[in-house]
A and B are shown apart, each in its own frame.
Chain A
Amino acid sequence: MLLRTPLREEDLLKLEVGEAVYISGEIITARDAAHVRILEFFERGEKLPFELNRSVVYHCGPIIKKNHEFKVISAGPTTSARMNPMTPKILEKVDCLAIVGKGGMSDEVIEALKGKGVYLAYPGGAGALAAKAIKRVKAVYWEDLGMPEAVWVFEVENFGPCIVGIDAKGNSIYKKVEKAVEENFRKIISQL
């Protein structure tokens, strides 16, 4: 399945956990510091310099080489759980959103994604492969946060595989795995 940006709500709502999707169009990087700043903008009622509605937010702190133009060297996902506290507040303010990251997100995020968006897992650490699918840097905002924390807008083509980890109906692969892992853990511990 290929997702194009700006995203269409009906496409997102159809996706189910376990499906592999590829993305073409625009993805916007944001990690800890950018999330904090986005919320500060919301609080002050200011307009963001980039468009979050119908967009793809990528939890990523890339390596960018800056000569005459920006070149993306490596750009894999960062641990999404760090963005757990901020994400539901952001989801309140957007139409629909796809989040790309690794490692899964909290129950609060699963709840906030209902009817609104999905969480997609990109293979952790596959930064070179991700960079290969990034055709160019379209824009950069908040460079004062430093290279990894700045907001980079990438144009991507067939960015993936992204596996639907959390769908818009409240299903989460991580939750299922977590439950199984807890049970396995109790069994293993009793045998050691």
Chain B
Amino acid sequence: MVSREDVVEAVKKILLEAETKLSDDVVEAIKRAYDEEEGYAKEILKAILENVEYSSKNKIPMCQDTGIPVFFVELGRELCLDFNLYDAIREGVVKATKEIPLRPNAVHPITRKNSGDNTGMHMPLISVDIVEGDRMKIAVMPKGAGSENVSALKMLLPSQVNEIKKFVVEVVKNAGGKPCPPIFIGVGIGSTFDGAAKLAKKALLRNVNEMNEFELEILNAVNELGIGAGGLGGKYTALAVLVEMGHCHTASLPVAVNVQCWANRRAWIELR
């Protein structure tokens, strides 16, 4: 039986983990780039790795932009909840903001007034999938603005399947040094306007060192751009390209590119 308190505590726990510690696959990818780079890029990657180690050792956020909280929940259909799941996640965010502490980033879109606790209209962003079983899996991906702001979505024509790779490379070229490269790239292909964006974001939850041929091909193309760590030039503009696909309308081809900085922050927890 999962209680409201379990969810509040779980949200605090995974937010702390995501903000202060990168998962092994991500660190491995950064280290590989560090080994192969030279010049400014190597210097930047060295600082990044020192930063990652220092923040995890001292349990402080690795980046001052602690992002806005984005949650992906897999809810086992056999679980019976006697509380409002959304409210519990929201409370976890409010508490985490105060206790970790996180930077209050959520503002009203027009007045720009800061809510002070990272919640507000449709915030935190929570997406729930009902799955088989009696467990609940909560994943959090706090997303900073530097990388989010250079993300893009394009409704391609069905005849433009060959343009997909070009679009990804173009988005990365336009982003330049702004999103804190070396970046991770989530790509959503197909589904709908909104669905493609969700797939792109969800793709970033995957192990970054497991890429298929299609993904590697895009990664290689992106790295030929030469933007490099910090935008100062180098071999590694991106460390991974992760693609998720969905069936779409016969007349459309939505493609979403969600850019993630080197701090590919995410954490999970399972409750039952």
Contacts and interface: CB of A to CB of B under 8 A. Distances in A.
B256 interface: no
Contact of A124 (B60, B180, B228): B180
Contacts of B232: 121, 163, 165, 173-174, 177
A59 to B, nearest CB: 11
Interface stretch (B51-59, B76-84, B126-134): B51-59
B49 to A, nearest CB: 10
A18 interface: yes
B146 A65 contact: no
A73 B162 CA distance: 46
Nearest to A72: B64
Contact of B114 (A125, A146, A174): A146
Contacts of B62: 74, 125-128
Contacts of B261: 124-125
For this complex, into which size category does the number of interface residues on chain A fall?
35 or more
A177 B227 contact: yes
A104 B169 contact: no
B166 A63 contact: no
A121 B102 CA distance: 24
Interface in A92-148: 102-104, 121, 123-132, 146-148
Contacts of B170: 185, 189
B4 interface: no
Nearest to A186: B173
Contact of A125 (B54, B58, B180, B231): B180
Contacts of A60: 64
B165 A127 contact: no
B195 interface: no
Given A76-B64, A181-B173, A126 B51 contact: yes
Contacts of B103: 61-63, 74, 147-148
Contacts, number: 171
B227 A73 contact: no
A3 interface: no
Interface string B46-75: 011011001100101111111000000000
A104 B176 contact: yes
B44 interface: yes
Interface residues of B, number: 52
Nearest to A20: B43
Given A79-B178, A188-B221, A129 B60 contact: no
Contacts of B236: none
What is the interface of chain A mostly: helix, strand, loop, or mixed? mixed
Contacts of B40: 18, 163, 173
Contact of B51 (A129, A147, A176): A129
B263 interface: yes
B101 interface: yes
Contacts of B64: 60-63, 73-76, 127, 130-131, 148
Contact of A128 (B51, B166, B177, B233): B51
Nearest to A63: B103
A127 B261 CA distance: 13
Interface of B: 40, 43-44, 47-48, 50-51, 54-55, 58, 60-66, 101-105, 114, 144-146, 149, 162, 165-166, 169-170, 173, 176-178, 180-181, 221, 224-233, 261-263
30 contacts: A18-B40, A20-B43, A61-B103, A63-B103, A65-B101, A74-B60, A74-B64, A74-B66, A75-B64, A76-B51, A76-B65, A79-B146, A79-B149, A102-B178, A104-B176, A125-B63, A125-B180, A126-B48, A126-B62, A127-B63, A128-B60, A129-B54, A148-B105, A165-B232, A174-B231, A177-B228, A177-B231, A181-B176, A185-B169, A185-B170
Interface of A: 18, 20, 60-63, 65, 73-76, 78-79, 81, 102-104, 121, 123-132, 146-148, 161, 163, 165, 173-174, 176-178, 180-182, 184-185, 187-189, 192
3 pairs of A and B residues whose beta carbons are closest in the complex: A124-B180, A128-B55, A126-B51
Given A103-B177, A181-B176, A192-B165, 5 more contacts: A102-B180, A102-B230, A125-B261, A126-B48, A147-B104
